[in-house]
Copies of this chain bind each other. A is one copy, B any other.
Amino acid sequence: MTAPDFQSWAAAGQQRIEAFLQRALPQPDIAPQRLHAAMRYAVLGAGKRVRPLLAYAAGELSQADPERVTVAGAAVELIHAYSLVHDDLPCMDDDVLRRGKPTCHVEFDEATALLVGDALQSLSFQLLGEYRLADDAKMQLDMIKLLAIAAGSRGMAGGQAIDLAAVGKTLSVPELEFMHIHKTGALIRAAAVLGGRCGNGLSEAEFAHVDTFAKAVGLAFQVVDDVLDAEAPTATLGKTAGKDAEQGKPTYVSAMGITQAKALAGELREQALKAIAPFGARGARLAQLADFIVLRQF
């Protein structure tokens, strides 16, 4: 039996995550109904589910039960979804369009959007406490700690704080990198490592390869985002284009120009592929994911 092509594999993973999130999110007829409707609005039916796909690919390398990886991937996706809802709020990026739909606070209201983000974060950790993810419960506690650090002030939330402080400033490429390693990189790395930790098939040295891969892919993801924000029309992007420049946010495009930014994305893709070279053919899904992320629109 040959492995399914990447598109079929990714579609199957996206469907599994969507189905699980559909069940894990409280139904909209459960009180408080409006909050639950808004949580579902913010999470379901959109998003490329890049983080869960990374978890699946690493989980396959580690011979993990896909049902366990689904829970881990969903937990990471809920953290990601909450961060988008809060990031779009007027006191942050003040954005009205996300994934081609009105942002949560526009569709509902600001207070509801605030609570949606708060409750999605709680739900993420609820899932990690509720489902069996690893044979060893102590390993599962380590996984919870890992996601909490990746989401917190020394990970994603910290990256957003650095981002805020950078508005209107000129950052060097290393400073930009520091910001993005926190803001988007931490959660992308957590997704890959958590997926792998659901199984027992990877050595610690192999986890280091996966982590190095995810770090490069996470940065590449952001460089590509900056290029797309500068180049793509709003309709293609599903969010407001040109927003970064308008808000005076430093980007890879503003720091190094669009040609060099594209070249950097290519270099980071090479770094990512090199990191997983030791896996040989077993690393094919991760390699395909790197291409999916880096080559997505140019």
Contact = CB atoms under 8 A, between A and B. Distances in A.
A142 B114 contact: no
A123 B148 contact: yes
A281 to B, nearest CB: 35
10 contacts: A32-B158, A32-B165, A82-B118, A86-B114, A115-B153, A119-B158, A121-B122, A122-B153, A125-B125, A126-B152
A193 interface: no
A29 interface: no
Give the interface size bracket for A toward B.
Answer: 35 or more
Given A119-B158, A125-B125, 15 more contacts: A32-B161, A34-B161, A35-B161, A86-B114, A89-B114, A91-B110, A92-B114, A115-B153, A115-B164, A122-B148, A125-B144, A126-B145, A126-B148, A126-B152, A140-B141
Chain A binding site: helix, strand, loop or mixed by DSSP? helix
- Within the oligomer, what is the number of copies of this chain? 2
A157 B126 contact: no
Interface of A: 26, 30-32, 34-36, 39, 82-83, 86, 89, 91-92, 109-112, 114-115, 117-119, 121-123, 125-126, 128-130, 136-138, 140-149, 151-155, 157-158, 160-162, 164-165
